Amino acid sequence: MNTLVEYTRVPRPTAGVGQVVIRVERAAICGTDILMYKWDPLGQQLVGDLPFIPGHECCGKVVEIGTDVEGLPEGARVCAETHIPCGHCYQCTHKLQHLCQNLVLFGHQIDGCFAEYAMIPASAVYQLSTDLSPEIACLLEPFGVSLRAVEEVAPRGDTLAVTGCGPIGLFAIGIARYMGAAKIIASDINPFRLNLAMTMGADVVVDAGETDLQEAILSQTSGDGVGCIIEASGVPSVINNMFSYLRKGGFIVQVGNPKGPVQITDVMPDLMHKELTLKTVHGRRMFETWEKSEALLSQGKVDITPVITHCFPMKQFDEAFTAVLSGQAGKVQLIPSLGD
């Protein structure tokens, strides 16, 4: 039982200029929500003023439209883009709104979606164009991060290691399988997650708590190393070691937020002489990534239902967070019910 977080009644938000209010159909718990729930120092850094309503992964229906909002009719089904752009900085005026210099984060610095109703600035609203179920639609936001990670390393016909099998890593495995990766090696230290990785299409899973990951990957790739790495664990020791089992000329995308400083031990052989490409990803392109994600999921190209392991009424949020913290869960979802 967490005493910092409570389920309580607050006034319904209203839609100001350039804003809409949605009735939340379904929401999902993200790793950053866990940091805030535990009031971890990293989580505290993400939060604006207290008290506030957490939650940023959601879908819902527009119920109120503020002035100066175009193209979002009442009843439209939408998702929230967590990154709220300012609209006038360099990035915002060069098609890189998701990297806005003045980014405000939905469910972090402003109230989020673990509620019956949520206000979203219209600039951060993605309108669904299909009848994607709420169960899937509320996961477009994290799915988009995985899609971008896979796009950055482009593993078609190549070997891919996915380190860290939380939801982002698991979605990435499903996408990479669909996109034609030749061999997917997934690693984690949690057997429950490694099972999900197999279900999502990994060819080989490595329990990095039991087996040396570098040895395992080199033996799976004739000693060459993998052509692509999607690093989704954020664990500093995993990041520090990943350069050792990347094939020369390979591609890495760092998608897990590093939980500490990153240090490469053997700089010449593992970094300089590898001529590697290292990319980072921060969120989804607005809104191309959303459109591609919706298409992949609505057309059944990638099935993420195995990753969705729990769903609770929102007032049972403590059970929902406990399920995530148990390590025996994939994505955990919340459904608000009016009037309780």
Question: Which residues contribute to the site for Zn ion (CB under 5 A)?
Answer: 30, 85-86, 89, 92, 100
Q: Which is nearer to Zn ion, 113 or 132 (CB)?
A: 113
Which of 223, 190, 224 minimizes the C-alpha distance to 207?
A: 190
CB of 40 to Zn ion, least distance (A): 15
Which single residue is written with the structure tokens 């989580």? 43
Q: Which is nearer to Zn ion, 30 or 150 (CB)?
A: 30
Run of H or E residues at 235 = none
Q: Which is nearer to Zn ion, 85 or 174 (CB)?
A: 85
Name 336's Cβ contacts closer than 8 Å, sequence gap at least 6: 24, 27, 114, 115, 116, 313, 314
DSSP tag of 41: H
Q: Which is nearer to Zn ion, 100 or 200 (CB)?
A: 100
Q: Which is nearer to Zn ion, 80 or 217 (CB)?
A: 80
CA dihedral of 180, 185, 288, 122, whole degrees rounded to 10: 150
Q: Which is nearer to Zn ion, 43 or 227 (CB)?
A: 43
CB of 15 to Zn ion, least distance (A): 22
CB of 84 to Zn ion, least distance (A): 9
Instruction: Give bridge partners of residue 125 from the DSSP assignment.
Output: 80
CB of 79 to Zn ion, least distance (A): 12
- DSSP SS3 for 247: strand
CB of 247 to Zn ion, least distance (A): 31
Name 197's Cβ contacts closer than 8 Å, sequence gap at least 6: 162, 165, 169, 170, 173, 186, 188, 205
CB of 222 to Zn ion, least distance (A): 37
Decide if 282 contacts 309 (C-beta within 8 A).
no
CB of 212 to Zn ion, least distance (A): 31
* β 183-188/104-105 pair status: unpaired
Q: Which is nearer to Zn ion, 27 or 226 (CB)?
A: 27
Which single residue is written with the structure tokens 């990347």? 246
Q: Which is nearer to Zn ion, 174 or 250 (CB)?
A: 174
CA–CA dist 135, 13 (Å, integer):
24
Decide if 287 contacts 126 (C-beta within 8 A).
yes
Run of H or E residues at 13 = none
Name 7's Cβ contacts closer than 8 Å, sequence gap at least 6: 314, 315, 317
CB of 90 to Zn ion, least distance (A): 8
Query: Which tokens hold the place of 277?
Result: 């490409």
